[in-house]
Amino acid sequence: MELNKYIEHTLLKQDATREEITKLLEEACKYNFLGVCVNPCNVKFAKQYLNDTGNIEIKVVTVVGFPLGQSTTESKILETIDAVKNGADEIDMVMNTGRLKDGDYDYIAEEISKIKAACQNHNLKVILETDLLTQEEIKTACKLCINGGADFVKTSTGFVKNGVGAKAEDVKLMYETVKDSGLQVKASGGIRDRETAIKMIEAGAVRLGTSSGVKIVAGN
């Protein structure tokens, strides 16, 4: 299994330096990862680096409304427009979990739809933050992503205190809920070794967001 082609090599910590971002990009090129996932302020640099090194097939992914999802829809839209302008190939937005738990489903679907429009022809992944949801809420969230026109559902930000992150049973539930709609699943959060990565893929994930990409593919 070519695990490198599932991996979005990720660095989203708030104290990430330009040196660390450069190392992330070097590793992505060395191991031919599917993409890199960086914060919005690093999108332009990442895109330029990959263009300059001839690695234009590696996707630049960034996050919107991260990590809480509690920004207004309007600010998420502006973030998305700016990210695309700076070279982002894909957008991972955080769903407003509070609105989901309030049962404000129209708000959720409409927000997803508006941000998808701002993505233009780029993929939109919606982060559900599964650590905070029941199984029924995960299913509901997935259906709202379908209604809103998203391209992917994603498990986690990895920023929930004491959170597990991606769990194979949640990935399977998400896959079973969206598979007939054409949406795909990204597993992210707590994927630190090859065994876990394979479990996520077997459960239905076609993308893996992880900061442990090198360890997963190279064993170090």
SS3 assignment, position 99: helix
Show which residues are catalytic.
Answer: 92, 154, 186
Q: Is 137 exposed, middle or buried (0-12, 13-18, 19+ CB in 10 A)?
A: middle
Residues in the chain: 220
Cα separation, 65 vs 148, whole angstroms: 17
Q: Which residue has the tokens 């959720």?
A: 108
CA-closest candidate to residue 76, choices 52, 108, 28, 32:
108
